[in-house]
A = this chain, B = another copy of it.
């Protein structure tokens, strides 16, 4: 199968120009953040004049949505490549960190400050689910037998998840695994986002060691 569904030369050119626009967009985002993304400036950089790009993108919002989609896709592919031959949570976590450090603003485009009005389209959230599923799988592979008993004593969150596990779809993981996944997700995002936002700069310690320490705790039988 052809990777791009472009038979006619027009669609070919169209897809190519769209990609070039997105390339410039990522450069702008990396250097000045997503809020500074200017469709007009991109047109100038490409030697085009102003409204030309509106033949290819309905507007700034559609371009950003496309970038969000590509970011999710890139993360899913990176995690998929980082977990070849069995779901290894440690490898997944380190792949996530590497991907985030390669372009912090790309990470923030997905997991950063949300725009109050914005709602991601269905196909984007589908990729987000795919990412979450990979992490759930890795968590399930971690504790295959004692999965249900890895709860912190006194905390009834596992029981609560038992009654609210619809979001996991048809995944056969016990609720203890789902709990572990949520903890993995939130803890990794916590260290990563603070590091990427620069809140550790000037503190002196190495953020990767903090990340590894948290990861160690996540891999333990009772997290």
Contacts and interface: CB of A to CB of B under 8 A. Distances in A.
Interface of A: 30-35, 105, 108, 111-117, 152, 154-157, 160-161, 164-167, 179, 182-183, 185-191, 193-194, 196-199, 202-206, 209-210, 212-214, 216-217, 220, 223
Given A164-B203, A167-B203, 20 more contacts: A34-B113, A108-B114, A111-B193, A111-B194, A112-B112, A112-B113, A112-B197, A155-B213, A157-B212, A160-B205, A161-B205, A164-B204, A165-B204, A182-B210, A186-B191, A187-B187, A187-B190, A188-B190, A190-B193, A217-B223
A210 B197 contact: no
Nearest to A185: B194
B197 A186 contact: no
A23 to B, nearest CB: 18
**10 A-B pairs closest in CB distance:** A190-B190, A112-B113, A186-B190, A164-B204, A167-B203, A35-B35, A157-B213, A108-B113, A164-B205, A113-B113
Contacts of A115: 32-33, 35
A56 B190 CA distance: 37
Contact of A186 (B161, B166, B210, B212): B210
The A contact surface, by secondary structure, is helix
Name the residue among A108, A154, A193, A196 with the largest chain B CB count within 10 angstroms.
A193
B113 A212 contact: no
Contacts of A204: 164-167
Contact of A216 (B155, B186, B209, B220): B155
Contacts of A193: 111, 189-190, 193
Nearest to A115: B33
A215 to B, nearest CB: 9
Nearest to A154: B216
